[in-house]
């Protein structure tokens, strides 16, 4: 495991509060300065800051990952994404705690013989309280895959990227992905005229799975960048035990920061179950501890080969 990944896991794995994110931003600014990079803090709100490295105007491509982390969900979670059925089932699964809250409220309301209006008010308050708990409870201390792995991938690329290739790429570390993709939306809104046609490759949850999965939007698939990326993947993984898959963003419902960008690719590491398809699990819980350095190394190498080709 490279040193920057080890430091991330040992010292900066929790990046939920404003203070925690500022401490991380200070470290990454200092670390990347040693490699000749300048980290710009792009503030879009009182508590929201994207970290930008490179010239967005001149860059040929954007490489991105969100750096914020989430609260501890306490409930086993998995996310199916390689077909609409698995996506729908995984969304239903995440609603189970909310349904249990409603069942408890209904039982208590019946015991207290409350009228319909009171039941509705208590139900709404219960759901609001549940959502507040999920959003603002204690920070998850284990974020190896989501998304310390994405941050580690960008750092690995930047550390190994030859100086002559650096002008080709703008790196963006998005804030508040876990709050609803807020940082990436703000960045898109601010720079829309510049980045509307610019290809963007986003890394989220890339260290816990044997298949490197590339979810591509139509505009990217129809560009010459698509062929270059696929060639870079095939070349890099030809002697690797890792598998890879390419899939369209319409069929593969992978909800990360790239969804607001027309010319984009979402990258993750996935597992596969018969019939169900490809999925991600363990995230948002204390079980998010799997960090495969080989995935990071391979993705970094793929991107450097890709940047050489464009």
CATH class of segment(s) 3-75+140-309? alpha beta
Total count of residues recorded for the chain:
310
Q: Which residues of 121-130 are buried (b: 16+ CB within 10 A; e: fewer)?
A: ebeeebeeee
Q: Which of 48-57, 83-92, 197-206, 291-300 has the lowest mean pLDDT?
A: 83-92
Mean of all residue pLDDT scores within the chain: 93
Average pLDDT over residues 159-172: 97
Is pLDDT above 90 for 119? no
Residue spans per domain, the chain: 3-75+140-309, 92-136
Is pLDDT above 80 for 129? no
Task: Let me know: does 195 contact 250? Beta carbons within 8 Å.
Answer: no
Average pLDDT over residues 126-148: 82
Q: What is the pLDDT of residue 99?
A: 82
Is pLDDT above 90 for 126? no
Q: What is the pLDDT of residue 114?
A: 77
Please write the tens of the pLDDT for every residue from 256-290.
Answer: 999 999 999 999 999 999 989 999 999 999 999 99
Alpha helix (H) ranges present in 140-288? 149-160, 182-190, 192-195, 218-221, 224-237
Task: Let me know: does 94 contact 157? Beta carbons within 8 Å.
Answer: no
Q: What is the pLDDT of residue 134?
A: 66
Rounded-to-integer distance, Cα 68 and Cα 65, Å: 9
Closest by CA position to 236, among listed 278, 297, 293: 297
Model confidence at 135, pLDDT cuts 50, 70, 90, reads low
Q: What is the pLDDT of residue 136?
A: 67
């Amino acid at each position: 495991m490279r040193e920057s990944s080890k430091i991330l896991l040992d010292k900066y794995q929790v990046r939920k509060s404003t203070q925690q994110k500022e401490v991380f931003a200070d470290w990454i600014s200092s670390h990347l300065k040693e490699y000749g990079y300048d980290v710009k803090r792009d503030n879009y709100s009182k508590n929201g800051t994207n970290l930008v490295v490179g010239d967005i105007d001149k860059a040929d491509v954007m490489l991105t990952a969100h750096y914020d982390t989430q609260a501890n969900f306490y409930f086993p979670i998995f996310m199916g994404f390689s077909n609409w059925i698995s996506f729908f089932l995984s969304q239903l699964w995440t609603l189970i705690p909310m349904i249990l809250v409603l069942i408890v409220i209904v039982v208590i309301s019946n015991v207290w013989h409350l009228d319909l209006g009171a039941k509705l008010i208590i139900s709404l308050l219960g759901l609001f309280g549940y959502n507040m708990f999920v959003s603002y409870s204690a920070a998850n201390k284990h974020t190896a895959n989501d998304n310390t792995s994405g941050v580690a991938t960008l750092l690995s690329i930047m550390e190994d990227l030859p100086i002559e290739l650096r002008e080709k790429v703008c790196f963006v570390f998005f804030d508040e992905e876990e709050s609803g993709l807020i940082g990436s939306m703000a960045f898109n809104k601010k720079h829309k005229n510049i980045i509307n046609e610019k290809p963007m490759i986003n890394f989220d949850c890339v260290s816990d799975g044997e298949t490197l999965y590339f979810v591509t939007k139509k505009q990217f698939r129809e560009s010459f960048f698509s062929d270059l990326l696929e060639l870079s993947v095939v070349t890099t993984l030809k002697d690797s035990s890792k598998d890879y898959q390419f899939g369209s963003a319409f069929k593969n419902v992978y909800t990360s920061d790239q969804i607001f960008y027309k010319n984009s690719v979402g990258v993750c590491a996935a597992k596969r179950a018969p019939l169900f398809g490809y999925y991600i699990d363990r995230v948002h819980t204390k079980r998010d501890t799997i960090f495969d350095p080989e995935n990071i190394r391979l993705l970094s190498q793929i991107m450097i080969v890709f940047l050489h080709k464009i």
